[in-house]
A and B are shown apart, each in its own frame.
Chain A
Amino acid sequence: MNVLEQIQTALNEVAVGAEGRELTNELNLSDLGIDSIKYVELLVRIEELCDITFDESDLGMESLRNIGDLTALIEKTLSQQVG
């Protein structure tokens, strides 16, 4: 699965109604019903799916607004942990 597919899988489990939504970079997480609590739940699920650990400073929702931000964070974390 690529990163976007992993996000979709995690979203389907965490956010009711996210299934079937087309994920674009501009799609806001808040429009998917993701609040600060669901956000951490989403990141924990992505950590499990991608076998990565996010930096603790990335757990806050403030810096991430949309799917594009989330994709960039996952790719950054993946590259750091592979490197």
Chain B
Amino acid sequence: MSNKNIVENVPRYYETYVNDCFATAYGAVLAHKGFNPNIILADYLSFMFDPKTEYYGTTYMYRFSTSVAFTEAELNTSLEFAYFPQTTYFSERKDVGAVTKHKDRIHFNLYIDDDAEVAARRIEQLVDSQVPVATVVDLYYMSYHRAYQNEHGLHAVVITGYDNENQEYHLFDKYLLSSSDFDGVLPMQAIREGRLSDVPRNNPIIGEYRRPIRHLWMEFDADPDFRVTDEKIFALLRESYLRMSGQKGVFDYITGIKAIEGLRQSVLGYKEKPGDQAAAAYFKEYHNTCLKRVARSRQRFAVFIREVADKLPQESVDILLENLQEAGKRWDIISNIALKFAITKAHRMLDDMDRNLLALIEAESKVIEQLELCTKTTV
């Protein structure tokens, strides 16, 4: 076993107010492999709503999850350029690194293993092969973060090296949105604890719950012939159009403007209810967080449109970018008003949310019109 090794020149990928910490870590590893994260990580423009539970999401339903393991179906509703096999227990794996199906997609392999030695050894193997590793830790053990010894939270970082002699890992965490800005070494023990944590959480909606990390890490494999093709770019645009126009659902959920209307009715329904602690908790813990995710998804799609702008009619690009920016801004404002409602319990905040939801429905309707045009036209 090597004593020390470092992967050099790993891009410190970060897109402001666009990605979550997972995509930020994935982006660095993908960029190191020579891929453009702004295209590979572009997810479909989408919105879904479940009237029964009042949960919603973009390409997957936002829920409080108690596991890091997902099925193949659950993992493959978001990205045109990626294929996620189901989360695999590493010690029971077959064909690591083999791209046997979906050769037109980069394989994002999510591995877990409860054996700390197995997980640590795999990091060394990858680093020895000059592959940086996106892995998940509990921020409670990360001394550079304000959550250190204070708050538990699942978080993705990139390990770029190890030093067995000094018992240290080299890593970086450039998710600046949550005050993460670390690029250096940490004791192996801290990372081990962080990767093994159960991540105990508590919120007023579902009470106490845990989400064991089980050393979760990601490996990315592409067929040598993998290319970003125009066909795939237009497939992404087409799928976005079908979802946003409500012509194609995700699982059994309604999508698009009709789904946003469902959310709007759900919000207005609170005008008939007392602004009690339960409502406040729901708006703070669920709406505030999830609406921000939707806002980011609109900004992320704008980043993708800029990347492929030369393949689309210029007028459509301009209208798409203007309205995606407007929609992203409105989703963000609604998120903040939701938090304000949670604090003040003032029902006029619900009217403010409603007004902004109507404005963003108008903006997203213009986006849908242009997506339809783009899928019928090529430059």
Is B228 close to A, CB under 8 A?
no
Binds A, one of B44-52, B103-111, B121-129, B332-340: B332-340
| Least Cβ–Cβ distance between A56 and chain B, in angstroms | 5
Closest 7 CB pairs of A and B: A59-B336, A40-B339, A44-B343, A56-B333, A60-B332, A60-B336, A40-B336
With contacts A56-B333, A59-B333, A60-B332 taken as known, whether A37 is within 8 angstroms of B339 at the C-beta atoms is yes
B337-A37 in contact (CB<8A): no
One of B17, B179, B340, B343 near A62 (C-beta < 8 A):
B17
A56-B356 in contact (CB<8A): yes
One of A30, A37, A57, A60 near B284 (C-beta < 8 A):
A37
Bits for A13-34, please: 1 = Cβ < 8 Å to B, else 0: 0000000000000000010010
Is A69 close to B, CB under 8 A?
no
A40-B333 in contact (CB<8A): no
Bits for A44-56, please: 1 = Cβ < 8 Å to B, else 0: 1000000000001
Which chain A residue has the least Cβ–Cβ distance from B178?
A35
Contacts of B337 in A (CB 8 A): 56, 59
Docked pose: A54 CA to B179 CA in angstroms? 25
With contacts A44-B343, A44-B344, A56-B352 taken as known, whether A37 is within 8 angstroms of B288 at the C-beta atoms is yes
Q: How large is the interface on B (under 10, 10 to 19, 20 to 34, 35 or more residues)?
A: 10 to 19
Q: How large is the interface on A (under 10, 10 to 19, 20 to 34, 35 or more residues)?
A: 10 to 19
A40-B340 in contact (CB<8A): yes
| Least Cβ–Cβ distance between A19 and chain B, in angstroms | 18
Contacts of B288 in A (CB 8 A): 37
Known: A33-B146, A36-B292, A60-B336. 6 other contacts (CB 8 A): A30-B179, A40-B336, A41-B339, A56-B356, A59-B336, A60-B333
Which chain A residue has the least Cβ–Cβ distance from B338?
A40
Docked pose: A30 CA to B332 CA in angstroms? 19
Can you list 19 A-B contacts (CB < 8 A)?
A30-B179, A35-B178, A36-B292, A40-B339, A41-B339, A41-B343, A44-B340, A44-B343, A44-B344, A56-B333, A56-B336, A56-B337, A56-B352, A57-B333, A59-B333, A59-B337, A59-B340, A60-B333, A60-B336
Docked pose: A2 CA to B343 CA in angstroms? 25
Docked pose: A37 CA to B146 CA in angstroms? 15
Is B329 close to A, CB under 8 A?
yes
Bits for B71-89, please: 1 = Cβ < 8 Å to A, else 0: 0000000000000000000
Docked pose: A35 CA to B289 CA in angstroms? 13
Bits for B171-192, please: 1 = Cβ < 8 Å to A, else 0: 0000000110000000000000
